């Protein structure tokens, strides 16, 4: 029994140690210029919240959620901004930066000559993306509490959810990045990202769309993320958010699997 289980355990601890070394590399590479970039990731959703949530919200008034809860428009928009900033932060790191490291810096060509394997690189990069994404989420939740858009206890519950959202999108982005041929392909991805940002029940409840469109919107990952975070921060209705959690976990697993498989194919030439 011991001989069967022990190698596995050693394997897992060695793998996580190796993943951590990839994350550590990114911490070492962090430079002052980069900090400015990090700040922009936090400011962007805040500007949307102020301009549209609060600004446009003043013209719209209150909204009634499917559960019957009545909330201000700002409180409706805020969780969506949190979800999409978790998405944006994770994607920025796992698509652009990851692609650059793999294709142009040839960073991983050096890494695979060590005991570190593609799956561990993917995991390490994802963990790094999440360090960044989680920082955004935490800061944004603080803003939401300060602006009285959610309760402190709800904000605490929403934090791990936002981290999960980041993980799922990070893994998805990494999988997509392995299919990218050049920087031009990223324009397409940015457009897709913007479409998701506009129509995932972010500014308008999905219930407002015609049935077919609504169905389409509800299967997109950002919609599930918005739905999850909104349920935790403002809504009271039901347990349907557990479905979101399962959905995001599935995206995370699939993304990681595809990304590490593809990396293996691209790197072990």
Task: Report, in Å, the least distance between residue 21 CB and other proteins.
Answer: 4
Residue 62 phi, psi dihedral angles, 5° rounding: -85, 160
Counting contacts by CB under 8 A, is residue 237 touching other proteins? Answer: no
List 72, 85, 117, 233, residue binding other proteins (CB under 8 A): 117
CB 174 within 8 A of CB 122: yes
- Single out the segment in contact with other proteins by CB under 8 A; choices: 20-28, 77-85, 244-252, 254-262: 20-28
Burial 129-167 (b: 16+ CB within 10 A, else e): bbebbbebbebbbebbbeeebbeeebbeebbebbbbbbb
Task: Report, in Å, the least distance between residue 18 CB and other proteins.
Answer: 7
Token readout for 156 is 């605490």
Angstrom distance (rounded) from CA 236 to CA 234 = 7
- Single out the segment in contact with other proteins by CB under 8 A; choices: 78-86, 103-111, 159-167, 243-251: 103-111
Among positions 21-50, residues that touch other proteins (CB under 8 A) are 21-22, 24-25, 28-29, 31
Angstrom distance (rounded) from CA 160 to CA 24 = 22
Task: Report, in Å, the least distance between residue 117 CB and other proteins.
Answer: 6
Dihedral over alpha carbons 98, 104, 107, 110 (to 10 degrees): 140
Considering CB under 8 A, how many residues would be counted as binding other proteins?
A: 25
Among positions 144-163, residues that touch other proteins (CB under 8 A) are none
Dihedral over alpha carbons 218, 220, 226, 232 (to 10 degrees): 70
Pick between residue 107 and residue 163 the one whose CB is nearest to other proteins: 107
Closest residue by Cα to residue 84 from 129, 126, 137, 33: 137
Task: Report, in Å, the least distance between residue 3 CB and other proteins.
Answer: 17
Counting contacts by CB under 8 A, is residue 14 touching other proteins? Answer: yes
Counting contacts by CB under 8 A, is residue 110 touching other proteins? Answer: yes
Counting contacts by CB under 8 A, is residue 207 touching other proteins? Answer: no
Counting contacts by CB under 8 A, is residue 265 touching other proteins? Answer: no
Pick between residue 109 and residue 207 the one whose CB is nearest to other proteins: 109
Q: Dmax of the chain from CA atoms?
A: 68
Pick between residue 188 and residue 265 the one whose CB is nearest to other proteins: 265
Closest residue by Cα to residue 100 from 190, 182, 39, 21: 182
**Sign (positive or negative) of CA dihedral 202, 204, 208, 209:** negative
Task: Report, in Å, the least distance between residue 139 CB and other proteins.
Answer: 25
Pick between residue 111 and residue 172 the one whose CB is nearest to other proteins: 111
Residues that bind other proteins (CB under 8 A): 14, 17-18, 21-22, 24-25, 28-29, 31, 105-107, 109-117, 267-269
């Amino acid at each position: 029994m011991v001989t069967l289980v022990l190698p596995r355990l050693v394997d897992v601890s060695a793998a996580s140690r190796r993943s951590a070394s990839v994350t550590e590399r990114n911490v070492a590479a962090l430079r002052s210029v980069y900090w400015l970039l990090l700040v922009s990731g936090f400011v962007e959703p805040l500007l949307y919240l102020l301009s549209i949530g609060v600004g446009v919200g003043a013209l719209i008034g209150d909204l009634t959620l499917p559960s019957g809860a009545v909330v201000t428009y700002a409180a409706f928009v805020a969780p969506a901004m949190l979800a999409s900033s978790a998405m944006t932060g994770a994607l920025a790191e796992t698509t652009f930066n990851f692609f650059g490291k793999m294709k142009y810096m040839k960073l991983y060509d050096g890494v695979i000559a060590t005991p570190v394997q593609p799956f561990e690189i993917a995991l390490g990069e994802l963990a790094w993306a999440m360090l960044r994404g989680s920082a955004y989420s935490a800061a944004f939740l603080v803003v939401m509490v300060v602006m009285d858009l959610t309760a402190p206890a709800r904000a605490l519950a929403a934090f791990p959810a936002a981290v999960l959202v980041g993980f799922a999108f990070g893994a998805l982005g990494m999988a997509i990045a392995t299919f990218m041929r050049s920087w031009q392909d990223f324009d397409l991805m940015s457009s897709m990202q913007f479409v998701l940002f506009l129509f995932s029940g972010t500014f308008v409840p999905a219930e407002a769309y015609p049935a077919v469109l609504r169905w389409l919107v509800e299967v997109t990952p950002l919609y599930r993320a918005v739905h999850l975070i909104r349920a935790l921060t403002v809504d009271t209705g039901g347990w349907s958010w557990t479905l979101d959690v399962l959905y995001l976990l599935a995206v995370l697993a699939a993304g990681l699997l595809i990304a590490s498989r593809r990396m293996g194919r691209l790197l072990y030439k």
